[in-house]
Chain A
Amino acid sequence: MRLREIAERYGNFALKGVNLALVVAAVVGFSTWATAANDADAKTAEQIAAAKRAASRGPYANDGVYEGSAKGYGGTVTMRVTIADGYIDKVEQVDVGHEDEAWLKMCQGIPDKIVKAQSPDVDTVSGATFTSTGMINAVKKAIAAEEKGQ
């Protein structure tokens, strides 16, 4: 019987193929769920930090908007830091000189990291050291300006 022949010859392969597909699907599915769960946890942690911030004044003495510049990979990088209620509220790029798109993209998480850590002492991005160092140093300069009360 043709069907029996096909089942004999390829049944083994099909069974193992389905098994592999199921295992891979399970791992990928689990990983997607776990990433989402981690993100949700991070959000909650942020909310808790925001609530804490609303409760008391932060470590930075002078509120206001400050700018700082430092040398990046392709020229000077200028960053703007907004201090509100003693906390770092916002970190933005003002000018990025001649930085390449690809490297800027790799560093786009740095402003958020600085706000989260409430300090410019965050890790540089490997593979984009100069760009990220430029951004971080520009933020440090801005904070130094804040300390001087300018």
Chain B
Amino acid sequence: MMAASNAPTAKSSVQGARRRCPKAQRRKARLRNRRILRLGVQVLFFVLAPGLFSGALSGVKYIAGNIGGLQPVELTSFVLLLIALVASTVALGRFFCGYACAFGLLGDVVYGVSSKLRSLLRIPQLPFPAPLVRGLQLVKYAILTAICVLCFFGAYDAAASCSPWTAFASLIAGSTEGVRSAAFILLGIVVCAMMLRERFFCQFLCPMGALFALLPVLPFSSLDRDSRNCPRSCGQCRKRCPVSIWPERGRFGAGECIDCGACALGCPIDNIGVVRIEQRPARRKPRLLLTGTGWGTVIVKALLLLLACWLVGALRFVPSPAELLPFGLPWMLS
């Protein structure tokens, strides 16, 4: 979401007129509605499965640790959860990151509140030049590698008690016993950083984000633009993107996309979507079939992810498959 410019300049009357035109108003309303839908889904997942990211990360750590200890990797519940989230990312894109991750929700809330405060107090946003963004986005891969290496050599336990996720999970669980204060200090630092830029943690620090960014996303779930139609020097999509990428699924940086839909919802010519059919004759503009940002898509993806989490026994408050199904699931039999 774009923060409104605060300093009045000669350009602002033109910008003001652009912002007030009916198409822009509609786009703004669509963006706001999409944000509300996303918040609703995030809260749903927070209630039903707040531990998804930390369970999946535990799966990664278990695998690295067992390989390092020359032990076979068994299908523990954490490994199953990791498989479920990887499968969901390949099929649905990084929907988990944008809609189901509790840490992502924390970041969105923190950023939302702080940017409202910032615009009220007329504090300008910290600039993040593109090379800095690119560089910082690589840090999460280093963090993922460091965690895997530490687990491989069996040295992680010392670091684990300081991790901000442990602190966050203990706050959700309501009991902070056994969590060192260093973890809470780190969590505090991360929360402050979340105020600086939208999805700061997700794009710069999250090891699961690094893992998901390296996964192949099926074309019908990755946002793509037809750059042949783009007006010159527009760049609205990239300007609105919280992770500063172009919505082009062929680019290597496309892995950074967290499926928030701001590009598609903000494109002035509705040129961004996931599925496109070519019209004949080839001269006519190809019609966009599925934008991938509509309520239908979001609800279908949410249900599919909920189903995957339920099948691996990761949902709270819902009877487990063992209780509901007359047959046993092959990965759940001990």
A interface with B by C-beta (< 8 Å): 8-17, 19-20, 27, 30-32, 34-35, 37-38, 126-127
Q: Does B215 contact A (CB under 8 A)?
A: yes
Segment of B70-78, B110-118, B156-164 engaged in the interface with chain A: B70-78
Q: Does B255 contact A (CB under 8 A)?
A: yes
A32 to B249, CA, bound (A): 36
A14 to B252, CA, bound (A): 11
B interface with A by C-beta (< 8 Å): 63, 66-67, 70-74, 86, 90, 214-219, 249-252, 254-255, 333-334
List residues of chain A with CB within 8 A of the CB of B252.
12
List residues of chain A with CB within 8 A of the CB of B334.
126-127
Q: Is the CB of B250 within 8 A of A11?
A: yes
List residues of chain A with CB within 8 A of the CB of B86.
20
List residues of chain B with CB within 8 A of the CB of A38.
71-72
List residues of chain A with CB within 8 A of the CB of B250.
8-12
Q: Is the CB of A27 within 8 A of B215?
A: no
Interface majority SS (helix, strand, loop, mixed), chain B: loop
Q: Is the CB of B215 within 8 A of A16?
A: yes
A11 to B254, CA, bound (A): 12
List residues of chain B with CB within 8 A of the CB of A14.
216
Given contacts A9-B249, A13-B216, 14 further A-B contacts (CB under 8 A): A12-B251, A13-B217, A13-B219, A14-B216, A15-B216, A16-B214, A20-B216, A30-B73, A31-B74, A32-B72, A34-B71, A34-B72, A34-B73, A38-B71
List residues of chain B with CB within 8 A of the CB of A13.
216-219, 249
List residues of chain B with CB within 8 A of the CB of A127.
333-334
**Would A16 and B67 be within 8 Å (CB), given that A9-B250, A27-B73, A35-B72 are in contact?**
no
B273 to chain A, nearest CB (A): 15
Q: Is the CB of A16 within 8 A of B72?
A: no
A8 to chain B, nearest CB (A): 5
A19 to B217, CA, bound (A): 13
Scoring B73, B217, B255 by chain A CB atoms within 10 A of each residue's CB, the highest score goes to B73
Nearest B residue to A14 via CB reads: B216
A83 to B74, CA, bound (A): 36
Scoring A15, A16, A20, A38 by chain B CB atoms within 10 A of each residue's CB, the highest score goes to A16
List residues of chain B with CB within 8 A of the CB of A11.
250
A-B contact pairs, 29 of them (CB 8 A): A8-B250, A10-B219, A10-B250, A11-B250, A12-B249, A12-B250, A12-B251, A12-B252, A12-B254, A15-B216, A16-B214, A16-B216, A16-B217, A16-B255, A17-B216, A19-B214, A20-B86, A20-B90, A20-B215, A30-B67, A32-B72, A34-B66, A34-B70, A34-B72, A35-B72, A37-B70, A38-B71, A126-B334, A127-B333
List residues of chain A with CB within 8 A of the CB of B90.
20
Which residue of the partner chain, among A8, A10, A20, A31, contacts B72 with CB atoms under 8 Å?
A: A31
A65 to chain B, nearest CB (A): 33
**Would A27 and B63 be within 8 Å (CB), given that A12-B249, A16-B216 are in contact?**
yes
A77 to B219, CA, bound (A): 58
List residues of chain B with CB within 8 A of the CB of A16.
214-217, 255
- The 5 lowest CB-CB distance pairs between A and B, nearest first, are A16-B216, A17-B216, A34-B72, A35-B72, A31-B73
